[in-house]
Amino acid sequence: MTSALQLPPVGAGLPSLDLGRDALLLDIDGTIIDIAPTPEAVVVPETLKLSLSRLREELSGALALISGRTLGAIDELFTPLRFTAAADHAAEVRLEPGGDVKHCAAPLTPAEKAAFAPIAKLDSRLRIEDKVYTLAIHYRLVPELGDTVIAAMQDAAAKLHENLRVLSGKAVVEVKRPGFNKGTGLREIMQHPPFAGRRPVFFGDDVTDEDALAMLPKFSGLGISVGQLLPGAARQVSSPAEVRRWLAELVAGKI
């Protein structure tokens, strides 16, 4: 395999990757795996695990996952593998696959969580997810309630008179404290070996990935959108399947 890997024929938006100088940072849902009706229903192909494991070796360890999922959920998805990761919107950062976890935020209080709990009772198909540092309500099974859920989350946050941020993603609304996001997670990872000094190449698909895209200029990085074109992304590809194919062809030496 050569050091500089070229574009696959079907992905004009896919970058070249210099194994000795680049770092690869990947969102998960909607970026490298397909979105499912519920977070637990997603499927991680074994071929993807193999691609990520081998590519991490080729990058001398400079591969990380940046996700809104908790670290425990990430590890469960990719078992038996573990990765450097910024999890729960970077409330949890693990700089080494087997290393300690750095907690970068204060958990939401029981009172704060209780203020949002009634929203999930609007419809039995809504799903509330307590991620300790954030609280999410998923409405993928009842998309017509999306605007109602978003408005209710914003109203509940305002009534708390707390400094909370409401994030709207793909069929999910989350509440969190300010001061941590996927951008701060990317920055933290890029300051430590084996990432330090490399160019970050980040893939994301949703508005919550915009913070990571906004951080890339600090490291002369490259951002790629999956699906919709996000602000700060220099390139765009159509789907997670296209990203998985690119990863597989990288490790197979086909490109």
Which residues carry out catalysis?
27
Task: Report the 10 Å Cβ neighbour count for 192.
Answer: 12
DSSP 8-state code for residue 238? S
Candidates 116, 106, 120, 128; CA nearest to 155 is 116
Phi and psi torsions of 101, nearest 5°: -100, 130
Helix (H, G, I), strand (E, B) or coil at 219: helix
Spell out the residues 6+ positions from residue 252 whose beta carbon is closer than 8 angstroms to its own.
none
CA distance 85 to 232: 21
Where in 113-198 does DSSP place strands (E)? 127-130, 134-138, 165-169, 172-176
